Copies of this chain bind each other. A is one copy, B any other.
Amino acid sequence: MKDFELIRKDFPILEAKVNGHHLIYLDNAATSQTPNCVIDSISDYYKNLNSNIHRGVHFLSQKATEKYENTRKKFKDHLNANSTKEIIFTSGTTHSINLIANGFINSLKPGDEIIVSQLEHHSNIVPWQMLSEKTGAKMKVIPMNNLGELDIKIYEKLLSNKTKVVFVNHVSNALGTVNPIKKIIEKAHRYDAKVLIDGAQAVPHFHVDVTELDVDFYVCSAHKFCGPTGVGILYGKQRILEELPPYQGGGEMIDEVTFEKTTYADLPNKFEPGTPNIAGVIASGVALDYINDIGLDNIKKYEDKLLAYATKKLKEINGVKIYGESENKTSVISFNIGDIHPYDIGSVIDNMGVAVRTGHHCAQPIMDYFKIPGTIRISFCFYNNFEEIDILIDSLKKAVRMLS
């Protein structure tokens, strides 16, 4: 077992002071912090091998291309994909989802249906809404229950031969619910529907195996697993990606260009036009190595303990109501205290150095369900510790005293 206290030293930002207090960073579901090795890999890239990739014949271009393509291999291995052709680098989860949604623009028609869950992040709602408007396909919603769990019975009823695509997140960013995606995928496949899983909140916390899941598309963002901003990873089954139309046009994604006709390049280049975020992609691979060195099993065990401890401590505060109480949860607690506006509490504890998120967490449909304007959300990473939770609880108590 790793010593999680030692790990903290890898993250320089954890030394920051806010208003004279030590920073306590509990907003990891929004973005995680970055260890020195990842930061250094970015500097190292610009100091030693910065160059445009693929097209160059020179030394730097060769080195940069090698590192970039080697990173693709790392993600292929990590997600257990079949081929590096199945790994596309994008600028983030949002971009990845839009890329896939656009892929269905020619194949969907009025009468077809696409199924979304009530637990989704806006990034996994709006692109499909736009697609639905353009194609006339209808959107159906898998509802959730009071515990923040999807109702699989209703999901089964929504499925039919009309269903063409299902998109669900692996873990809800607003409530922390881990959805039974294996079951969801299996049932969709009975109707030949494709499934996209938004794994933005899953990949940082436990191991994901796309082959075992038999998922069609799986997406995540590097900045949520200790990587840099501006990098998304998109897995897609080769056979399906080959059939999808390209999303953006540009250099590198084409084979030949004349003004009459353009032929597209093979995977993965077909979906990576233009100069990618080369430094960022390479640094994402370093972040992946970093969490794999700690071990996702160790991470999961430790974060589960943090979650249990924080949940217990929170419940001891008078008037706390936790949203999302599934048995299957990771690293996120959404809550309110009495009638106090979450925004007020967030502002007060921020001045005490405790960084949490308040609001709708880009998941308004969940807020609508609970009829609340928003929640306070705390979310953990493996560098958080029990002492920080104690300080959080203390700050919350002070805030409640001030605000009531």
Contacts and interface: CB of A to CB of B under 8 A. Distances in A.
Interface of A: 12-13, 16, 18-19, 23, 25, 27, 30-31, 33-34, 38-39, 42-43, 46-52, 55-61, 91-95, 97-98, 101, 116, 121-123, 125-130, 139, 141, 221, 223, 228-231, 246-254, 256-259, 262, 273-280, 343, 346-347, 350, 353-359, 362, 364-365, 368
Nearest to A279: B229
Given A56-B357, A249-B126, A350-B59, A274 B47 contact: no
B91 A230 contact: yes
B364 A258 contact: yes
A229 B276 contact: yes
Contacts of A358: 57
Contact of A357 (B55, B126, B141, B365): B55
A249 B55 contact: no
Contact of A273 (B46, B52, B126): B126
A50 B91 contact: no
Contact of A355 (B13, B61, B223, B247): B61
Q: Is the interface of A mostly helix, strand, loop or mixed?
A: mixed
A88 to B, nearest CB: 13
A46 B34 contact: yes
A33 B64 CA distance: 13
A371 to B, nearest CB: 13
Contacts of A259: 116, 125, 129, 139, 141, 365
A58 B280 contact: no
18 contacts: A12-B47, A12-B48, A19-B59, A27-B56, A31-B275, A33-B46, A39-B43, A42-B42, A51-B355, A56-B357, A98-B248, A123-B274, A125-B249, A125-B259, A126-B254, A141-B259, A228-B277, A259-B365
A27 B60 CA distance: 10
A373 to B, nearest CB: 12
Contacts of A49: 13
A277 to B, nearest CB: 3
A30 B57 contact: no
A279 B18 CA distance: 20
A16 to B, nearest CB: 6
B274 A92 contact: yes
A94 B90 CA distance: 13
